[in-house]
Chain A
């Protein structure tokens, strides 16, 4: 099956700074890469996603980049705010049938 690795496991930034989380995947057939935010005790929620035919996607302060050749993708959060503090998971999927998750990054934004 797919193997998704995620780094770093924890990330602490000052409010207003940028945060970058990186993931690699093993299955070259994976073609959909979502990012989920999970707050303590709550369900994971989709924040942004990218498909394999696109190299970059932005949504306000959040962006995701994908390098298919290197099989890695990254989440970029700019102008971080305390409410961005949460655990972020990357995932990889082939044809939306199965989703495999990275190990998660705990982001702490210090006011």
Chain B
């Protein structure tokens, strides 16, 4: 009964070769987030969508972009991955202020390796 599904689970790319990670949700949540988590560190918020409104964190590099074509799907595009972008990328959803518990639901993550 996976509610937040990320693909692929593991992605290996070459330095500078664009990568797209996908996330889908069956919860009909308003808000979708992308977090970057490096080993032994806290998840770092990159950006989030509240419905169609995109909200970028001030310190998110321009190399990272996102798309949300509909309620269910959200994509993370890394235009030119560097070695420092190797990390686990976590997608999460929440109901936002639209009701519900407000709980953040995470996907299993996509682990990116940059060679």
Contacts and interface: CB of A to CB of B under 8 A. Distances in A.
Interface in B12-40: 31, 33, 40
A98 B96 CA distance: 8
B102 A32 contact: yes
Interface string A79-98: 00000000101010101111
Interface stretch (A13-21, A40-48, A56-64): A40-48
B106 interface: yes
B107 interface: yes
Interface in A60-111: 87, 89, 91, 93, 95-104, 106
A101 B42 contact: yes
Interface of A: 1, 6, 32, 34, 36, 42-46, 49, 87, 89, 91, 93, 95-104, 106
Interface of B: 31, 33, 40-45, 48, 50, 55, 57-58, 90, 92, 94-97, 102-104, 106-109
